[in-house]
Amino acid sequence: VFPYVNLEGFTQPVAVFLGVPFAKPPLGSLRFAPPQPAEPWSFVKDTTSYPPMCSQDAIGGQALSDLFTNRKENIPLKFSEDCLYLNIYTPADLTKNSQLPVMVWIHGGGLLVGGASTYDGLALSAHENVVVVTIQYRLGIWGFFSTGDEHSRGNWGHLDQVAALRWVQDNIANFGGNPGSVTIFGESAGGFSVSVLVLSPLAKNLFHRAISESGVSLTAALIKRDGKPIAELVATLAGCKTTTSAVMVHCLRQKTEDELMETSLKMNLFKLDLLGDPRESYPFLPTVIDGVVLPKTPTEIMAERNINTVPYIVGINKQEFGWIIPMLMGYPLSEGKLDQKTAKSLLWQSYPMLNISENLIPEVTEKYLGGTDDLVKKKDLFLDLIADVIFGVPSVMVSRAHRGESQTLLGEGSRALWGQHSCIGKYFYSVHRNPNGGGLPHWPQYDQQEGYLQIGVPTQAAQRLKDKEVAFWTELRAKETAERPSQREHVEL
């Protein structure tokens, strides 16, 4: 008996499987270790209830889920370290060998919060006749604790994503999916993760198309060369000695899930620190260059063209830093105005995310805010500046690095998460076929002409998205590197 659900207006029912394990629970000695294959089961498994989300700040996790869900009702969330599960939505007749395209969704949340069940794959599955898989991966300390050596390399969350994709390869045919046609797609830290998987040798041949919405591997806030300073902070806050990596890892493995959660809350993650030295502030637990998931920095891998060459869609929005992120991070902008002096100070406090040297901040502020005396406009331009550094410029640079290798499409529009009936839905979800056709405005391939699709009213093809901004930041970063060649602490844009 399959758990079929009917979507209003659709005769074809969708079978829904919730909480399917794709790896062993990452508990005990498997904390801070690569995921192990799930144990086979000999009984009929109940897959009709939502799996727990990975350990995270319950308040932040619930708030984000309620904001981002595409369901009519918010689902009450449970959290657990035992969280390596995925949900499957399939419109296939499971008595036949259907071979439908598969779309694997990787949720966002800054690598700190989020879960698979926030996103209901029912509509997408029924509308587009695809198998939708939503996956979970370890977050925060559990997913990204890295001592930078063999004791805890880090990137556990990305290894979970790879394990889920392996599981899809081995099993999705049983759910009517074609393992030879898998599209990975994600938003924010999920789009970033997709972009990391496009660069990772571990993910080779595990997917065949990719979509990054509002997040790519050059998003500096989420990636660092070295996680050791953060590891030492985590250990100290947890009451562990930091004498050696082995000591830290051993001590942290003894902590209960609640104790690690307390440690995590003490770190003030996803918050702008307005008081301390920004060079010693860690608002994220980032992806690291571990030599396994990422053999080198994204910049180096792309320069060497050593990537998984698959058709790739990259998309950003206007006002990426317009409200939700500054609000959650506690940027003091409630007045709706901002003067140049405060802007400079906030940019320096944002160093962990933007990585702009203190001596270059006046030039950057003048460039973006100098053209007006209107303090309301200055505030909007300040938000544009941060959006360019975190989302806009990295997305264009990643698109440039991929063009010529495979079909690459770049889009800019308004956030269209799991678009129900919108034209963006028609484009995105025909990517496993071809996004052009069916009377839609033409979406040009991203090549030397840098054509992209501007999504809005009207939707139309355009050229050279953020060309001037990319030129400005590229030159600025070159100047910065020339001034501080010895510091290789951060991954360069």
Active site residues: 188, 320, 421
Give the other-Cβ count within 10 Å of 246's Cβ: 13
Q: Look at the block and give the residue holding tokens 């998205």.
A: 465
> What ranges make up the beta strands (E) of 250-308?
287-288
- Do the Cβ atoms of 98 and 92 come closer than 8 Å? yes
Give the other-Cβ count within 10 Å of 237's Cβ: 15
Ramachandran quadrant class, 79 (left: phi over 0; alpha: psi -120 to 50; beta: rest): beta
Among 188, 54, 186, 24, residue whose Cα is nearest residue 115: 54
Kind and range of the H or E run holding 462: strand 460-463
| 463, burial (CB in 10 Å: exposed 0-12, middle 13-18, buried 19+) | exposed
SS (H, E, C) 37-74: ECCCCCCCCCCCCCCCEECCCHHHHHHHHHHHCCCCCC
Write out the two tokens for 38.
């799930």
- Do the Cβ atoms of 479 and 465 come closer than 8 Å? no
DSSP 490: B
- Do the Cβ atoms of 58 and 79 come closer than 8 Å? yes
